Amino acid sequence: MLKEWSGGVRIATTCYGLWRLDYSPMQDVTNLWFMKVIAHYGSPDYFFTEYFRVNDTSRLNRNILAAITENDTGRPVFAQMIGESIPDLVRTARELCRYNIAGVDLNMGCPAPRIYRKNVGGGLLLSPEKVDRILGELRSAVNDRPLTVKMRVGFENTDTFYEILDIINRHSIDLLSLHGRTVKDMYHGVVKYDLIAEAVRRVHCPVLANGNIDSAKTALEVLSQTGAAGVMVGRWAIGNPWIFNQIRQALQSEPIAPVPLVEVRNYIDRLWQTPTAAKFPVRSRVGYLKMFLNYIALSVDAEGHFLRLMRQTQTEVELFNLCDRFLLAEVTKTLALAPYSGV
């Protein structure tokens, strides 16, 4: 069991291989950098690495490993694996246990077709008996280190959901992070918080509720609706890295401190300065920044003007002029506490 887990709601984040979306030139960017950026604005209680791919030829990816070995955020880091080959998962879990990790996490939720078609990530949800064997072997492999699972509520429906929750109990999994969508839902549609609530009631371990937690208010609502031990915030921390502190403020019934847009402008500068992106041609670098701005812009103006115009910019000068126009013009303006709906 996670030793420090008792007492208080826990807040976690996953760090993404953002560049995987469509910025292949960025493959060497490490998430350690983004964890540090997040930490600058107020860390979550836990970080999860992006997944280490595991197969018969895999070795620990050095960039992902740096998020563990060079992590100076002061927060524990779970190391996530994705794979289905039991000997290789066991080998990799043992290797990971040699590092300073909070635990080993198994990805059973990745919805990318090229991943789930190999029966890994979200694909595992179709094979409960395989999950049973994997978790049994991993449980022995990690000894007394925490073994955790990140999953969705099903592949296409909830046919295997309850069976897998029971498997999680059978292997004394230490923590379940549950994204309340199916694999086929990808990242769209309603998050089924009621199913997260069912999982909370059924499993013996703490559950982190995940999916569309885009503000402190939503975090509180989801915690109350699900009874989860904590929340996991993903994409919304990109648009608002202050969200973890804001959730803490809300949990303590304190007023939530709005973030002046001028600070958002500084955050954008920080994003622009990512060490690896600086080596790329300016056009790719502009594209890279736009990935982040796609989230930030949702909370800048209710009409979506900033988002639309930002997407039209081509050059660094155009992009930064636009940022200045929207973010520095009125010093009293603040980032919305939740993304504007309809933007």
110 is catalytic: yes
80 touches ligand FMN by CB under 6 A: yes
Task: Indicate the residue among 178 and 307 with the shorter CB distance to ligand FMN.
Answer: 178
> Encoding tokens for residue 199?
């999982």
> Encoding tokens for residue 319?
């992009």
Task: Indicate the residue among 17 and 103 with the shorter CB distance to ligand FMN.
Answer: 17
Stretch that binds ligand FMN, among 93-101, 129-137, 231-239, 333-341 (CB under 6 A): 231-239
C-alpha 233: how far from chain center = 6
Contact between residue 11 and residue 244 where contact means Cβ atoms under 8 Å apart: yes
285 touches ligand FMN by CB under 6 A: no
Give the three-state DSSP class for 304. coil
Contact between residue 225 and residue 281 where contact means Cβ atoms under 8 Å apart: no
Name the phi and psi angles at 200, rounded to 5.
-55, -40
Distance, in Å, from the CA atom of 256 to the CA atom of 138, rounded to the nearest integer, reads: 41
Stretch that binds ligand FMN, among 135-143, 234-242, 305-313, 317-325 (CB under 6 A): 234-242
Contact between residue 122 and residue 165 where contact means Cβ atoms under 8 Å apart: no
Query: What is the size of the binding site for ligand FMN (CB under 6 A)?
Result: 22
14 touches ligand FMN by CB under 6 A: yes
Considering 15, 97, 110, 205, which one is annotated as catalytic?
110
Distance, in Å, from the CA atom of 266 to the CA atom of 277, rounded to the nearest integer, reads: 17
30 touches ligand FMN by CB under 6 A: no
Options 10, 179, 192, 285; binder of ligand FMN; rule CB under 6 A: 179
Annotated active-site positions, please?
Answer: 110
Residues that bind ligand FMN (CB under 6 A): 14, 16-18, 20-21, 50-51, 80, 107, 109, 150, 179, 187, 210-213, 233-236
